[in-house]
Amino acid sequence: MSYTPDRQRSESLARHGARALSAGVLILSVTAVMWVLEAVDYTSNGWLDRFGIQPRDVDDLPDIFTAPFMHGGFGHLMANTVPFLILGFIAAARGIAKFLVASLIIIVVGGLGVWFISSANTLGSSILIFGFFGYLVGRGIFERRLLDIGIAVGVVAVYGTMLLGVLPSDPTISWQGHLFGLLGGVLASWVLRRDPSSA
């Protein structure tokens, strides 16, 4: 079956549009869940904060999967919402399946890093935010496609200063979550890179 260039272009745009729509729905849905959880936490006097990461508590290890979706108050959540929406959408728009695997890698690497070396209960989506940053920059490095390089450059230009958050400068901020979330994102971009032979 042969395709005209116009038909191929139209089908490609339709695929990209569907992917972007799916990414938007997914990220908005996760964000909505985080706001609902924080509302529940507020009305229950912080009861959900117990699902943060308690360092070196073996019984608490499963909470590495819940901590990135909990926050220490609405101020904390509001500060994380915009970068989560933007970086999460861009990462998801590059492919939902890879995004979900990348998010799992980020959560595990970031959560374990916090569990091993933090000294306080830790929660917040900044683990994922720094992970998405690392994932997008890593794709530019490992994929070496013009679009991915452009995205990486744009992400660094807009959000590059957030890298200061990996430094242990403020005891109320989990630099461990930032650092290991970032490393998890870079690792995810390497694990999920294309096979060069398929290019």
Low-confidence ranges of the chain (pLDDT < 70): 1-12, 195-199
DSSP, collapsed to helix, strand or coil, labels residue 145 as coil
5 token code pair: 């260039």
Closest CA to 166 of 132, 127, 139: 127
Confidence at residue 171, expressed as pLDDT on a 0 to 100 scale: 81
Confidence at residue 13, expressed as pLDDT on a 0 to 100 scale: 72
Closest CA to 152 of 194, 186, 103, 180: 186
Distance CA 177, CA 123 (A): 9
Question: Exposed (0-12), middle (13-18) or buried (19+): which is 103, by Cβ within 10 Å?
Answer: buried
Q: How far is CA 156 from the centre of its chain?
A: 15
30 token code pair: 């996760």
DSSP, collapsed to helix, strand or coil, labels residue 122 as strand
Confidence at residue 186, expressed as pLDDT on a 0 to 100 scale: 98
Query: Tell me: the pLDDT tens digits for 44-60?
Result: 999 999 999 999 999 99
Exposure string (b/e) for 56-68, b if CB count within 10 Å is 16 or more?
eeeebeebbebbb
